[in-house]
Amino acid sequence: MGADPTLVAQLSRWLADTDITLLELRGPAGTLRLVREKDGLREEALAPDAAASEATETVLAPFLGVFLVRHPLRLREAASLGHRLNKGDVIGFLRVGPTLVAVRSPCDGFMQDVLATDGATVGFGTPLFAILPLLPGVSP
């Protein structure tokens, strides 16, 4: 795979002391992911073509509404960047008048990016989140 084992070990130790759940190293030889699970760190090596062809899942707004990254009662985001997601997890909200519609993760994966502005009114189909799916066949 070509990644320096010493560097990986160092990064792993460093990662263990943080609340970062995903670290991705991309190089010409491929991609290495360090994924933090409940019971420790897991390495995931991807071949270059797999990494390149891998599609980011974009989550679109199902309604017209006000986009919220956190439940109105909560002080923290429903899913912060790098957050490990299960399919169906609530990752954001659309507010329509007094009602809230949950935006859910379409797949197992990681929160890669928030594409809309918290508090902004978004139309139907507006991209809200980019999710990095877990590779098929790789069970967490």
Residues that bind other proteins (CB under 8 A): 63, 71-75, 90, 93, 95-102
Least Å distance, CB 103 to other proteins, is: 11
Q: Are 66 and 95 in contact (CB under 8 A)?
A: yes
List of E strands, 30-89: 30-37, 40-46, 57-60, 65-68, 84-85
Nearer to other proteins, 20 or 66 (CB): 66
Nearer to other proteins, 23 or 94 (CB): 94
Least Å distance, CB 115 to other proteins, is: 22
Least Å distance, CB 54 to other proteins, is: 27
129 contact partners, CB below 8 Å, separation of at least 6: 58, 59, 91, 92, 103, 105, 111, 112, 113, 114, 115
Least Å distance, CB 77 to other proteins, is: 13
In degrees to the nearest 10, what's the CA dihedral of 113, 115, 129, 93? 120
Coil, helix or strand for 136?
coil
Nearer to other proteins, 82 or 95 (CB): 95
Nearer to other proteins, 45 or 107 (CB): 107
